A and B are shown apart, each in its own frame.
Chain A
Amino acid sequence: MKKIVMFFFITLNFSFLTTNCVNAIDMQSSQYKIQMSNVNSGSDYMTGSGSRLSMTLGQLAAEEFKSNGYLLKAGFQYINSIIPFSFSISNTNIDIGTVLPNTPATGATTLTVSFGSSGEYQVTVGKETMLKTFTDDFIPDTECDSGYSCTISSANQWTTTSALGFGYNMSGTDITADFIDGDYFRPFSSSTSPVIIMSNSNVTLNATPTPNPNPTIPALPTGTPRDIYHESTITFKVNVDANQQAGTYQTVIDFVATPSY
């Protein structure tokens, strides 16, 4: 009997160890999703010399504050909501591994932008240095396959093992149109003149128009809200020949995410 009680007790204890993900204010189900809910828990005040700005998260009209010589508005006025702008990189240490001559090596990381339903943003990329060793031996930027030259703003095919260099491919949402598939690569630009790799100019929702039975009146576009996460994968590729100096090659890639204006 005691053994059964003890077994029950231990089992109960372990059952408490299984936890579920809990979201703070998760306003969605299989039936609905509220993208711009009235959540006033984040209300805050900003103060200045003789000024006070009331900020309210949510769909309530964003309060404008006018005082002696100021007019200050926070957040996108057409959405009337202060949505935080978030940017994630799944792995900041992209391990390309040991690179063997004429054997392309790759490494990837995922970029995620979350911007509620306001949508408009851009992500740029640029390298701080060449992919190089401490002794300044470097792997040159890729020029892609012979006859398929690529530039910092235009991807092209890079499939042959004889084409050397360092470059990247993009896949996922909001990427530029030149990344047709996984064989299309670009060389990195420098971080002083970065190029856009992800962007979106859609605001609010993205939906499919409802088919209209009436042939004379155009259908009103309605549908499901756009996913609030914009996610893409950047794949780094390195290919060297036997003449490449052995060593530890490294670089820093800057990913800059900014909302629109």
Chain B
Amino acid sequence: MKRIKILKYILIFVFCVISYKLQIARVYAQHSSLSISPPIIELIIKPGKSVLVAYKLINYGDPTVLKSKVVSFSPKDNLGGISLKEYLEGPIRFELDNANLQLNDSFFLKTRDYQQLLLRIRAPEGAPEGDYYYTLLTETQPPPTLEGVTTSKAKAVIGSNILITVTSEGNVDILGKVALFDVIPRYRLNFFGNKINLFDSNDRIPVVLVLENKGKNMIKPQGEIILSGKIGEKSKYEILPQNVLAESQRLLTTKELMKTRYSSLELSGFFIGSYKISTTINFGENSPNIYASTSFVALPFRFLIGLFIAALLTVIIVKIYKRNSEE
């Protein structure tokens, strides 16, 4: 009898242990998820020097085979987009310092596992001064072929940008100018050769600031956009120091929150009268300030039209009423 009791308890214990083991994690369809850090590095380097940068690549998806490589890129538009090239341009040399891994080698990564990529960046002796832009790409291997069904296999590729300035003396070429600073008006009037940007008082005012870098090195603008009204009101919006790559343009962004895709800032509120918007930009210590300004006029058109229609209707009603009472 005692034996049966003990056996019973053992059975319960085994049952409980097995039930723990049966607990399973959520399962998804073949899932690819990669994360890389840092997402960008900026390096100013002398010819003949090298630097080692440690990237952390994490696989949050299904176990997969990965491959890393470095390619060149160029700016694509003035919104910070990039155009990747299929090869490596320029004098900079890249290699992995990992003991058992080289660039373009395949490696396996389990779910939630990570690989540290020790990327050595070398500017050889005699490397021409200037800027060179690269992207470290890591790609997954597409899933195996399925027989009998039409399928599209997806390959996930994740990148991290590398901006390199080669300089012997540490001098960089700063040649920035404001390519465009204006508002996108609802109406634009030409009044004796002067352009007047007109808005309704309740309109949002999109402000566009495009900076052009004519130099051979990337620049990082700092500054602000200032809105001032006729009665002394003033608002300041700080410009984000985003990189403007060599010989390219970029739509600058302010730290303020609201903006559309093609504007640097979107002012909102109730505006009435004439307003001036100005910007002052510099590129770090001892660099000259550059300045641009524009203006706009805001009037309560919708309110005035509504008032006019209401007045007109009132007059008509009064006239009809008078005519009726005379008859």
> Which residues of A line the B interface, CB within 8 A?
6, 9-10, 13-14, 16-17, 19, 44, 46-49, 51, 53, 55, 68-78, 82-99, 105, 107, 109, 112, 114-115, 118, 120, 122, 124, 128, 131, 192, 194, 196, 199, 201-209, 212, 214-223, 236, 238, 248-261
Task: Give Cα distance in the complex from A92 to B271, angstroms.
Answer: 51
A203-B253 contact given A90-B29, A92-B156, CB 8 Å threshold: yes
Query: Is B31's CB under 8 angstroms from A84's CB?
Result: no
Partner of B157, one of A94, A115, A192, A255: A255
Q: Which of B126-145 contact A (CB under 8 A)?
A: 133, 135, 137, 139-140, 142-143, 145
Tell me the bound Cα distance from A229 to B270 in angstroms. 33
Which of A9, A82, A203 interacts with B38 by CB under 8 Å?
A82
- Chain A residues with CB below 8 A from B51, complex form: 48, 51, 70, 72
In the complex, are the beta carbons of A107 and B152 less than 8 A apart?
A: yes
- Assembly CA distance A109 to B82 (angstroms): 24
Distance A251 CA – B151 CA, assembled complex (angstroms)? 7
Task: Report Cα–Cα, A84/B36, bound state, in Å.
Answer: 5
Closest approach, in angstroms, between the C-beta of B312 and any C-beta of chain A?
26
Q: Which residues of B contact A83 (CB under 8 A)?
A: 37, 39
B54 at interface by CB-CB < 8 Å:
yes
Most chain B C-beta atoms within 10 Å of own C-beta, residue among A68, A75, A115? A75
Bound complex: CA A250 to CA B153 (Å): 7
Quick check: A74 and B53 within 8 Å, CB to CB? yes
User: Beyond A88-B33, A212-B269, A260-B82, is A250–B155 a contact (Cβ under 8 Å)?
Assistant: no
Contacts of A109 in B (CB 8 A): 154
The answer to whether B37 and A82 have CB atoms under 8 Å apart is yes
When the two chains form the complex, which single residue of A92, A124, A207 contacts B257, counting CB atoms closer than 8 Å?
A: A207
Say whether B81 faces chain A, with CB atoms less than 8 Å apart.
yes
A217 contacts B19, C-beta separation under 8 Å: no
Report if B193 contacts A (CB, 8 A).
no
Give min CB distance, A144 to chain B, whole Å.
19
Q: Is the CB of A55 within 8 A of B38?
A: yes
- Listed by A's residue number, 24 A-B pairs whose Cβ atoms lie within 8 Å are A72-B44, A75-B39, A76-B39, A86-B34, A86-B35, A88-B31, A88-B60, A91-B29, A91-B31, A95-B146, A96-B149, A97-B150, A122-B82, A201-B80, A206-B258, A215-B270, A216-B270, A217-B235, A218-B267, A219-B269, A250-B151, A253-B153, A256-B137, A258-B160
| Cβ of B14 under 8 Å from chain A | no
The smallest C-beta distance from A198 to any residue of chain B, in angstroms, reads 11
Among B39, B43, B235, the residue within 8 A (CB) of A71 is B43
* Contact for A72 among B42, B146, B255, B259, CB less than 8 A: B42
Q: Tell me whether A89 and B35 are in contact (CB under 8 A).
A: no
| Stretch of B100-108, B180-188, B225-233 lying at the A interface | B225-233
Query: What is the distance, in angstroms, from B321's C-beta to the closest C-beta of chain A?
Result: 35
B153 touching A93, Cβ below 8 Å:
yes
Instruction: Say yes or no: A84 contacts B39, CB within 8 Å.
Output: yes
Nearest B-chain residue to A46, judged by Cβ: B54
Which residues of chain B come closer than 8 Å to A96, judged between CB atoms?
A: 149-152
Asked whether A13 and B41 contact (CB < 8 A) given A47-B52, A219-B268, the answer is no
What 0/1 readout, one digit per residue, does chain B (240-276) give for beta carbons within 8 Å of chain A? 1111010000010101111101000011111110000
**6 A-B pairs with the lowest CB-CB distances in the bound complex, closest first:** A218-B269, A260-B80, A69-B46, A258-B159, A88-B33, A84-B37
Asked if B143 and A92 sit within 8 Å, CB to CB, the answer is yes
User: Shortest beta-carbon distance, A170 to chain B, in Å?
Assistant: 14
With a cutoff of 8 Å between Cβ atoms, the chain B residues found around residue A92 in the complex are 30-32, 140, 142-143, 153-156
Q: Which chain B residues lie closer than 8 Å to A13 at the CB level?
A: 16, 19
Bound Cα distance A209, B37 (Å): 33
Cα separation A6 to B15 with both chains bound (whole Å): 12
A90 CB to closest chain B CB (Å) equals: 6
Q: Is the CB of A90 within 8 A of B235?
A: no
Contacts of B42 in A (CB 8 A): 71-73, 77
C-alpha gap A14/B268 in the complex (Å): 57
Alpha-carbon distance between A112 and B31 when the two chains are bound, in angstroms: 11
Contact of A192 among B86, B146, B149, B261 (CB under 8 A): B86
Residues of B contacting A47 with CB < 8 Å? 52
Residues on A with beta carbons closer than 8 Å to the beta carbon of B240: 78, 203
The reply to whether B151 and A95 contact each other, CB–CB distance below 8 Å, is yes
Q: How far is the CB of A128 from chain B (nearest CB, A)?
A: 8
Whether B297 is near chain A, meaning CB under 8 Å from some CB there, is: no
Closest-CB distance, B201 to chain A (whole angstroms): 8
Minimum C-beta distance from A94 to chain B (A): 4
Tell whether, in the assembled complex, residue A216 and residue B231 are in contact, meaning their CB atoms are under 8 Å apart: yes
